[in-house]
Amino acid sequence: MTIKQSNSYENSLFPLSPTQTDIYYDQLLHENCPLYNLGGYIILENVDITKLTLAHELLITRHDIFGMRIIMTDDKICQRIATDRNTKLRIIDFSHELEPEKTAQRWMQSLIERSINIDNNELFKINLLKLSDDFFYYTLVMHHLSIDGWGFGNLIQTLGRYY
C-alpha cells in the first residue's frame, strides 16, 4: 500500500549535509557496492501480525527518513521528503524450509549485500520473515544517507512503542 500525505514541504528541495555529501559522492565512486547499507533485525515471538502491520505503517508515515529522496538537479544534489511512501510490510515465509533460521539469515545477508539505488528512490527495505507460526524476524536495511546506528536503535524503540 502507498500512502500519500500532504506536507507543506512536499516538493521543497534542500541541500545534503556535509556528511551526506561525502557519503553520496563515495557511493557514486562505488556504484554497485553496498558499503553504506546498514542492516539488522528484531526477533519477534508470539507477535500479533495485525498490530505489527499497523505499527509498521505508523513508523513509515510518521518519520521523514522514510520519505527521504536524493535528487540530482542540473547544478546540485538535493534531498526532499516525499509524502508517497510504500507502507506495505512484506511477509516472506521461510517456515517450510528444512532450516528456516539459516535460510532466513542467508536471505538477509544477500539483501544487505545488494546496493540501494539512491537516485530518487526509497532508501530502505523492510520485511517480516516468518520462521514458524510464532517466530519472526523484522528486518531493516537502510542506506547511511538516511540513518546512522543511533537512529537505527531509535527506530526500533519507536516501532515497539507503536506496537
CA distance 22 to 108: 27
The two beta strands, 135-143 and 124-132, are antiparallel
How much is the average pLDDT of 30-50?
Answer: 95
Residue 19 has a pLDDT of 95
* Whole-number percent of the chain with pLDDT over 90: 87
CA distance 7 to 17: 22
Identify the weakest region by mean pLDDT among 56-60, 73-77, 134-138. 73-77
* pTM, full prediction: 0.89
Under the banding of pLDDT at 50, 70 and 90, the label for residue 6 is very low
Answer yes or no: are the C-beta atoms of 84 and 2 closer than 8 Å: yes
R_g (Cα) of the chain, nearest Å: 17
Under the banding of pLDDT at 50, 70 and 90, the label for residue 1 is low
Under the banding of pLDDT at 50, 70 and 90, the label for residue 10 is low
Amino acid identity for residue 58 in this structure: L
For all residues of the chain together, what is the average pLDDT?
93
φ, ψ dihedrals at 26, nearest 5°: -65, -35
CA distance 33 to 113: 8
C-alpha cell belonging to residue 54: 499497523
Residue 149 has a pLDDT of 87
Is pLDDT of 88 > 90? yes
Residue among 110, 130, 120 nearest 37 (CA)? 110
Residue 139 has a pLDDT of 97
CA angle (120 as vertex; 156, 138 as ends), nearest 5:
25
Under the banding of pLDDT at 50, 70 and 90, the label for residue 141 is very high
